[in-house]
């Protein structure tokens, strides 16, 4: 666990010495602030504003995640430092989970800024905390699943741009696959395709419903992607 934490801290520090991190934060705050204002102006119901806002932020997150994950392994491969990592007394699992945790904790910093909007609602309105708590839980699980996809894809290439673009395409697929299922007539295939949708599993959280099936889905996605990434690194070490 110590090695995982060391790698995670290294990743967090590396984000703040890159220009990309500040660009992502800028767009996250600008878009988030604008749409929060829009929801306040149009909805005018403190109990409904935050769930709507978190739904929008879930969409924005899938657009921003590739910028957060594209450099995780691609940069290590391009610079050659991946060889130093693989020959150090650190296991592949510790490397993968450390980078995943670093990216996730970096994203928590972004999410922390959204608490300002919640404070405003508490001061000037009466928000319903049930959907807010479940919404944040779903939001974090969703983003963790996003990041796990990005980690896996970043481990397959040394080109950061390719990593980011492929991650965006894959996340877009898992975002719209629920809509695609509505055009499928076969019920078995329809249900299977709908089950793959990240959005479908998030919707209940935004309504204040915490269903263990959705939690298990996100945890399974994370574990599967981390498992494949570890295997890819193990294969690289044995070559």
What is the DSSP secondary-structure string of 134-145? HHHHHHHHHHHH
Rounded to an integer, what distance in angstroms lies between the CA atom of residue 159 and that of residue 71? 8
Give residue-wise pLDDT tens across range 49-100.
777 777 788 888 888 888 888 888 887 777 767 667 667 777 888 888 988 9
In angstroms, what CA-CA distances link 165 with 139, 168, 194? 22, 5, 24
Rounded to an integer, what distance in angstroms lies between the CA atom of residue 198 and that of residue 176? 9
**Lowest-confidence region among 38-47, 68-77, 115-124, 215-224:** 38-47
The pLDDT of residue 239 is above 60? no
How many Cβ atoms are within 10 Å of 183's Cβ, its own excluded?
8
Q: With beta carbons less than 8 A apart as the criterion, state whether 102 and 10 touch.
A: yes
Q: With beta carbons less than 8 A apart as the criterion, state whether 66 and 150 touch.
A: yes
Rounded to an integer, what distance in angstroms lies between the CA atom of residue 73 and that of residue 78? 9
Give residue-wise pLDDT tens across range 24-50.
778 777 887 787 777 777 776 666 777
- Global pTM? 0.87
The pLDDT of residue 173 is above 90? no
pLDDT of residue 47: 65
How many Cβ atoms are within 10 Å of 144's Cβ, its own excluded?
19
């Amino acid at each position: 666990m110590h090695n995982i934490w060391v790698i995670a801290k290294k990743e967090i520090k590396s984000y703040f010495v890159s220009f990309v991190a500040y660009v992502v934060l800028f767009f996250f705050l600008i878009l988030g602030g604008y749409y929060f204002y829009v929801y306040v102006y149009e909805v005018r119901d403190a109990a409904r504003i935050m769930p709507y806002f978190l739904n929008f932020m879930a969409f924005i997150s899938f657009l921003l995640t590739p910028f957060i994950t594209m450099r995780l392994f691609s940069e290590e491969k391009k610079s050659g430092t991946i060889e130093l990592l693989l020959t150090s007394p650190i296991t592949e699992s510790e490397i993968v989970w450390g980078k995943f945790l670093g990216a996730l904790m970096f994203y928590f910093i972004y999410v922390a800024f959204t608490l300002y909007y919640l404070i405003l609602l508490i001061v000037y309105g009466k928000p319903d905390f049930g959907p807010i708590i479940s919404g944040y839980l779903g939001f974090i699980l969703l983003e963790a699943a996003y990041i796990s996809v990005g980690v896996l894809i970043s481990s397959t290439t040394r080109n950061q741009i390719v990593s980011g673009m492929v991650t965006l395409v894959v996340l877009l697929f898992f975002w719209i696959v629920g809509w695609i299922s509505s055009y499928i007539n076969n019920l078995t295939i329809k249900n299977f395709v709908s089950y793959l949708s990240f959005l479908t599993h998030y919707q209940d959280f935004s309504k204040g419903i915490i269903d263990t099936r959705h939690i298990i889905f996100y945890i399974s996605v994370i574990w599967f992607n981390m498992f494949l990434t570890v295997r890819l690194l193990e294969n690289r070490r044995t070559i």
